[in-house]
Structure 1
């Protein structure tokens, strides 16, 4: 069945009437806030991370404070598993590790009746609904008849930044990880996601794996990838700043792109797959401004 451009646009408009923020739904792109943007320098390239204080304020505040102290400079990625995560942090139980206070879990937040997002799919494996809010992939459970508020949380799509922890829920401190493989959605809701890579994901993927394939020699710790420098973009000299704009997931243009991707309208698909769309299968676009 062919879907006309007019019909696609109508679907997008309806989606945004019910799901998109009214104050910025006309803008296809949005600029990052330098005060919540991190520039990570690795030996082989630069990576830009957008933080999410609107969802995980305590974790963002702790992470930004450590970045500003130069805490992570020289620290290595010491737990890097192919197809899973790249994790970095100081040596466990070291004085540096113990110097950082613990921070409580921020895996979910309550949603009022007026809360909105751009929906991607109903009846996700892990949630009633999935979609995007402020360019972050989210899962959502609407309010039940017995409850006045719903519940939402960020999802473990490739490229997200989350805080590692011990077995106890409120035991995160400074160790963090990037998702570098398939989406480990079973971690949703039990870990705190507080950012995502918007530029340089190829450099994250190039981080030295530390888990050896069975039969190979163990990877020497001297081969672990170090963090050359990590700094807030606002603290970088203006002439050295990298300015990125990201796709605005609250816009009608993004809602329309979701529908086109769901229905695979390109002529390449001579046989149409089922119109199922995983929220982690929607790569968000970014563009270099400076």
Structure 2
């Protein structure tokens, strides 16, 4: 492998082992696993969600079980706030809502000294380090040896009550600024990889003071929510995402920090906000 310098390799990519490193060189793109991909159909179009069982296994398992039952079909986004989140699920305190068992929070997870990720930034405002693992933005504390998924726009997380272990089926998607103050106290279990423009157009239910309330009949429904494996092959959206473990991805991050384009006649600080560092997506050929 050719790298610009040994320093770049050491500072931007932490490698678990020589064997895992060699595996990352196979491709700069990876295909989504249809077993862990969800197709959400909204009135305005299709949204594809990649689930993260490697980081939040119990939440993903419960979400997939509910999806396969058609639990979310016809349910609405009932709490939609500009610059914050779009939250949906069954009506609070309904029999349907009560039928789902609460989950133990999976706000962060322990890692060992062999764990690796692609570093983006040291001394982030909310975490000692930020980076990517399997395309997901995460925070990492070397001191604690713990990592956690971040509340970047487009992630999907479970809503809960005040107590930490009370999440059931209601979920939310940040649709504006990154509410990073929710990191580690909520469970992020996936992310939107396609159709974020449709998420952004979900009807706002929160209005400014003095405005007419939005009628519940105008709330945006989830027409259908399916595992991609349950979608007829001809109707599937087969996507690939950038492989954030590939060595060229670390090189791209380093170049992005430099801001060498002539447009930047005044250089900004060499800082990367991980939530403004999107992971590329393309339709598989």
Unaligned stretches of 5+ in structure 2?
none
Partner residue in 1 for 2:234: 239
Alpha-carbon displacement from aligned partner over 1:226-250 (angstroms, at most 9, x marks no partner): 0000000011111111100001111
| CA-CA distance at 1:216 after TM superposition | 1.1
Write the distance in 2 (CA, Å) between the matches of 1:7 and 1:245.
25
| CA-CA distance at 1:19 after TM superposition | 4.2
Write the distance in 2 (CA, Å) between the matches of 1:197 and 1:10.
35
Q: What SS does the aligned partner of 1:18 have?
A: coil
Alpha-carbon displacement from aligned partner over 1:139-175 (angstroms, at most 9, x marks no partner): 000136xxxxx01100000100000000110000000
Q: Choose the corresponding residue for 1:248, options 239, 243, 250.
A: 243
Mapped contact 2:12–2:120 kept (Cα < 8 A): no
Alpha-carbon displacement from aligned partner over 1:103-159 (angstroms, at most 9, x marks no partner): 110011111000000001111111111100110001000136xxxxx0110000010
Write the distance in 1 (CA, Å) between the matches of 2:15 and 2:151.
22
Q: What SS does the aligned partner of 1:226 have?
A: coil
Mapped contact 1:9–1:256 kept (Cα < 8 A): no
Mapped contact 1:78–1:210 kept (Cα < 8 A): yes
Partner residue in 2 for 1:3: none
Q: Report whether the alignment pairs 1:166 with 2:161.
A: yes
Partner residue in 2 for 1:184: 179
> Counterparts in 2 of 1:104-253, with a 5 A limit?
104-143=104-143, 150-253=145-248
Q: Choose the corresponding residue for 2:264, options 264, 269, 275.
A: 269
- TM-score, normalised to structure 2's length? 0.94
Taking only aligned residues, the RMSD between alpha carbons, in angstroms, comes to 1.6
* Cα distance change on mapping 1:270 and 1:19 into 2, 3 Å: farther
Q: Report whether the alignment pairs 1:281 with 2:276.
A: yes
4+ aligned runs moved over 6 Å, structure 1: none
* Cα distance change on mapping 1:186 and 1:239 into 2, 3 Å: same
Write the distance in 1 (CA, Å) between the matches of 2:37 and 2:183.
23
Write the distance in 2 (CA, Å) between the matches of 1:140 and 1:97.
34
| CA-CA distance at 1:207 after TM superposition | 0.3
Q: What SS does the aligned partner of 2:268 have?
A: coil
Write the distance in 2 (CA, Å) between the matches of 1:168 and 1:17.
37
Partner residue in 1 for 2:41: 41
Write the distance in 2 (CA, Å) between the matches of 1:252 and 1:15.
12
Partner residue in 1 for 2:70: 70
| CA-CA distance at 1:270 after TM superposition | 1.4
Alpha-carbon displacement from aligned partner over 1:176-208 (angstroms, at most 9, x marks no partner): 000101110000000000000001100000000
* Cα distance change on mapping 1:126 and 1:242 into 2, 3 Å: same
